[in-house]
Amino acid sequence: MSFELNNEKATDVLIWWVEGADGSIDYREEETVKKVIEDVNYSLETFYQETLMHLGGLSTENLKELVEDAVEWGADHFDEHRKQRTVALLYVIAECNGTITDEQQEKIDKVKEAFGVEDPEDF
């Protein structure tokens, strides 16, 4: 699996993981992701042409491994502000359909635990 993580790609993987928690990605979720990526000055091109293209070619086992690697990357490389901001962004994406599913909350909780952060005050 040759996909070198950096801050942007690790965040992309986490966004994809939470966004697709219910097994599908609808229009509202996709539009929210676009806005979030633009708001943090990340590249939509990287998200769509590198990250999603790579994810689409992975087996379920390799996807799980990459998600674990992305969580670990964030825990090891993000500063405290980026950790808080990433968790807040994941909440925005999860809540864009009006409610956060149990599976989305479990995934966000896993990220929060690995990052050592609490719920953001405002997202």
Q: How many CB atoms lie within 10 A of CB 107?
A: 22
The number of distinct structural domains making up the chain is: 1
**Which parts of the chain fold into alpha helices (H)?**
7-19, 27-39, 44-45, 53-56, 60-77, 80-95, 102-115
CATH code assigned at 53: 1.10.3680
Q: How far apart are CA 94 and CA 90, in angstroms?
A: 6
Task: Identify whether 105 is part of a domain.
Answer: yes
The pLDDT tens digits for 17-49 are: 998 887 778 888 889 988 888 888 888 888 888
Query: What is the predicted pLDDT for the residue at 86?
Result: 94
Task: Identify whether 69 is part of a domain.
Answer: yes
Task: Identify whether 39 is part of a domain.
Answer: yes
Q: Whole domain around residue 89: which residue ranges?
A: 7-115
